[in-house]
């Protein structure tokens, strides 16, 4: 069963209806927080060749309230004002006569609950477009409301018995193919192809409300547009390439993980984190984390073996050390590096990125703040950093 889950929006753009049309069941996500400045109670329509906002007046709006806790302002004057705005904007549109009565029916709905009002509006337009999806309000589902984000969506998928989950392309950074795979759910994203159509004699403005699409296109043309999209999904039998980052629990490691996630737009890679510290930092980022002491070869046994690339950011640093323990530098920076290298050899990992210390050339900064990797070594042999620098340089030679 194909499932879609989206917040209820006010006359949303075409892509929303494309997603709705492709799934068997569609959950209207009405028991999540209202987003101020989003699309829940406003959208854009065409007015004199420009995109302008078209707003649904509401009462008690707050990001601290759920969508279904907010009321529609049922002021007849405001409703009539919106209807006049539609008349002024689209009275000369080719399909005004057939579409305006639908919009009038929606806007004159006396339902006070915002979520139910929007759900009704969605159903009216879906019926017009012959979309036969089954609609369910998320507030009616007996789900685990303690969950958040992706975990909550997966919980709803399980509850509904979904084998596939569809989301708009904008949600790519919110969901992990690997996590859905682990729950035996196929994750898909819809990328809309918003074709141009004639908007009076103006230059085309894309991404406007479904109102604009309906006003300038016949019902049959609108139905054809519902199929103008491509689906992005992980191909069956093709695994994402796994990148394992050692030293991920440190500041540099966390920054690097965030960088990888930000640039992993097409979900080509599965990011796996490993560090010496116990942390729940990566849980909210949907990154699998392994607590590993790299000085102990036995700790490597629990790591996945099908690794595409390894990033080594691990190391004992003076700033992190309580007291002075030169043996720890030797254990972590040299023995630990050797263990990582052995792990790579045993698992045929041939793509390795490692961090190089500047400690062996740092004293050049007294003369020139610009340090270059090919400078001759220049550092003190009489400080608590000496063994650290020597161990890091030796670990670098191990990688060579």
Q: Does 184 lie in the same domain as 278?
A: no
Q: Does 373 lie in the same domain as 329?
A: yes
Q: Does 167 lie in the same domain as 282?
A: no
State residue 332's pLDDT score.
78
Beta strand 186-192 with 229-233 is: antiparallel
Domain boundary pick from 181, 208, 233:
233
Instruction: Provide the CATH number for the domain around residue 312.
Output: 3.40.50.720
Instruction: Assign 168 to helix, strand or coil.
Output: strand
Q: Does 18 lie in the same domain as 128?
A: yes
- Tens of pLDDT, residue by residue over 253-283, are 899 999 988 887 666 788 999 998 899 898 8
- Closest to 285 in 3D by CA, of 326, 240, 255: 255
Q: Does 360 lie in the same domain as 291?
A: yes
Using the predicted structure, report yes or no on whether residue 329 has a pLDDT greater than 70: yes
Q: Does 248 lie in the same domain as 374?
A: yes
Using the predicted structure, report yes or no on whether residue 140 has a pLDDT greater than 70: yes
- Angle between helix axes 96-107 and 114-128 (nearest 10 degrees) is 160
DSSP string, 270-281: EEEEEESS---T
In the predicted model, what is the mean pLDDT of the chain?
Answer: 88
Torsion of CA 182, 188, 189, 193, to 10 degrees: 170
Q: Does 373 lie in the same domain as 321?
A: yes
Which residues span the domain enclosing 367?
241-399
Q: Which residues of 132-155 are buried (b: 16+ CB within 10 A; e: fewer)?
A: ebeebbbbeeebeeeeeebebbbb
Domain boundary pick from 233, 265, 286:
233
Q: Does 144 lie in the same domain as 248?
A: no
Domain count, the chain: 2
State residue 20's pLDDT score.
96
Q: Does 87 lie in the same domain as 226?
A: yes
- Tens of pLDDT, residue by residue over 181-234, are 889 999 999 999 888 999 998 899 999 999 999 999 999 999 999 999 989 887
- Closest to 56 in 3D by CA, of 121, 138, 142: 121
Q: Does 286 lie in the same domain as 166?
A: no
Phi, psi (degrees; rounded to nearest 5) at 221:
-65, -40
Q: Does 223 lie in the same domain as 339?
A: no
Whole-number Å distance between alpha carbons of 198 and 185: 40
Query: Global pTM?
Result: 0.62
Structure token pair of residue 122: 């969605």
* Residue 4 β-bridge partners: 26, 166
Domain boundary pick from 184, 205, 233:
233
Q: Does 42 lie in the same domain as 130?
A: yes
Q: Do residues 96 and 2 touch, judged by C-beta distance below 8 A?
A: no
């Amino acid at each position: 069963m194909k499932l879609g889950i989206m917040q209820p929006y006010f006359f949303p753009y075409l892509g929303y209806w494309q997603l709705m049309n492709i799934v068997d069941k569609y959950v209207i996500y009405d028991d999540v927080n209202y987003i101020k400045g989003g699309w829940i109670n406003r959208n854009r329509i065409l007015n004199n060749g420009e995109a302008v906002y078209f707003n649904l007046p509401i009462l008690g709006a707050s990001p601290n309230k759920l969508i279904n806790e907010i009321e529609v302002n049922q002021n007849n004057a405001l409703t009539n004002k919106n209807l006049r705005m539609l008349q002024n904007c689209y009275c000369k549109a080719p399909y005004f006569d057939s579409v305006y009565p639908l919009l009038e029916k929606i806007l004159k709905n006396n339902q006070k609950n915002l979520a139910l009002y929007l759900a009704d509006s969605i159903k009216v337009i879906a019926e017009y477009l012959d979309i036969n999806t089954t609609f369910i309000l998320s507030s009616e589902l007996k789900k685990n409301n303690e969950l958040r984000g992706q975990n909550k969506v997966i919980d709803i998928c399980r509850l509904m018995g979904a084998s596939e989950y569809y989301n708009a392309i904008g949600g790519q950074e919110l969901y992990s193919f690997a996590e859905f795979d682990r729950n035996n759910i196929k994750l898909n994203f819809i990328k809309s192809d918003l074709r141009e159509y004639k908007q009076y004699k103006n230059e085309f403005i894309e991404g406007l409300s479904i109102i604009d699409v309906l006003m300038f296109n016949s019902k049959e043309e609108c139905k054809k547009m519902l199929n103008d999209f491509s689906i992005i999904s992980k191909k069956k039998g093709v695994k994402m390439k796994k990148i394992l980052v050692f030293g991920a629990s440190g500041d540099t490691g966390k920054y690097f993980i965030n960088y990888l996630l930000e640039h992993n737009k097409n979900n080509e890679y599965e990011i796996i984190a490993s560090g010496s510290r116990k942390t729940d930092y990566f849980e909210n980022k949907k990154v699998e984390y392994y607590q590993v002491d790299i000085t102990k070869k036995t700790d490597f046994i629990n790591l996945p073996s099908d690794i595409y690339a390894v990033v080594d950011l691990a190391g004992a640093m003076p700033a992190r050390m309580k007291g002075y323990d030169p043996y720890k530098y030797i254990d972590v920076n040299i023995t630990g590096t050797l263990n990582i290298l052995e792990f790579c050899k045993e698992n045929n990992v041939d793509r390795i990125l490692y961090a190089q210390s500047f400690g062996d050339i740092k004293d050049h900064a007294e003369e020139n703040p610009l340090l270059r990797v090919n400078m001759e070594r220049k550092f003190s042999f009489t400080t608590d950093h000496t063994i650290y620098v020597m161990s890091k340089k030796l670990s670098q030679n191990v990688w060579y």
